[in-house]
Amino acid sequence: MTTSETSGTEADRLERQAEAYRLVGAACAEVLRCRGLTTWGFTDASSWLGGDEMPLLFDASYIANPSWEALRPSLDRP
């Protein structure tokens, strides 16, 4: 990660992360054969980056991060 990706307030970082998940989800939704996405853990507590980085879709208390709401629309397809 670059300094620009890890700098700023927590809200700024979560917003940038949500945009990244939205873009990946949208790219997958454009490809008919793309049927899922894989992350390297379920909650921030299990991430190799550590919970402070908030890299996953759910925080350590299983509460959805903004990235979940950004990604979810791309998963709502037949």
**Structural domain span for residue 66:** 20-75
Query: Per DSSP, what are the bridge partners of residue 17?
Result: none
- Number of separate domains in the chain: 1
Helix, strand or coil, per DSSP, at residue 73: helix
Gyration radius of the chain over CA positions? 13
Does residue 26 have a pLDDT over 50?
Answer: yes
pLDDT at 18: 95
pLDDT at residue 29, rounded to an integer: 92
Q: What is the pLDDT of residues 27-52, one digit of tens each?
A: 999 998 998 888 888 888 888 787 67
Share of the chain above pLDDT 70, in %: 87
> Beta-carbon neighbour count of residue 54 at 10 Å?
19
User: Does some domain include residue 8?
Assistant: no
Task: Choose the weakest-confidence range: 10-14, 44-48, 68-72.
Answer: 44-48
Higher pLDDT, 15 or 47: 15
